[in-house]
A = this chain, B = another copy of it.
Amino acid sequence: MSPSNSTPGPTSGLSLEQQICYAMHTTVRAFDAVYRDLLSEHGLSYPQYIALMSVGEHGPLTVGRLGELMHLDSGTLSPLLKRMEAAGLVGRARDPQDERRVLVSVTAAGRDRLAGLGDVPRQIAVRSGLSRAQLLDLQRTLQAVTTALQNADVPTAG
């Protein structure tokens, strides 16, 4: 009764639409590996890098606003920011205007860390093997897919 003795075909079981997600996961982990390679020597993970960039660029941000930018919630961000604070990269302080909010800002050490990174985006682009046009096209596709997936996300809302 083992189904493996006569498989219908080499690619029949895992159909196209499935392999797409499989490919997505694989690609993301490949990206993560390259980021680890580039960032680990600077003591940063990819999420920490994105967070540091976001806070550095957009000034003091609330945890909620940063979560909107990174598409993450406080369950992920709170411990992440705590570690970054412990590393001296960011500062956290309650907003005096609204004590519910916590304002996250980059420290001088955080800016130094960013400045010492070199051109990470260029490294990534080069290693991806894609041209600028291809990258743009891929990005557009991904954004479209994301929007579609998120909008279809509530099937039985009625």
Contact = CB atoms under 8 A, between A and B. Distances in A.
Interface of A: 2-5, 7-8, 12-31, 33-35, 37, 46, 50, 53-54, 56-61, 65, 71, 120-122, 124-130, 132, 134-136, 138-139, 141-150, 152-153, 155
A15 B121 CA distance: 7
A interface: dominant SS: helix
Nearest to A140: B23
B23 A139 contact: yes
Task: Name the residue in A13, A53, A145, A153 with the highest tally of chain B Cβ atoms < 10 Å from its Cβ.
Answer: A145
B145 A37 contact: no
B135 A27 contact: no
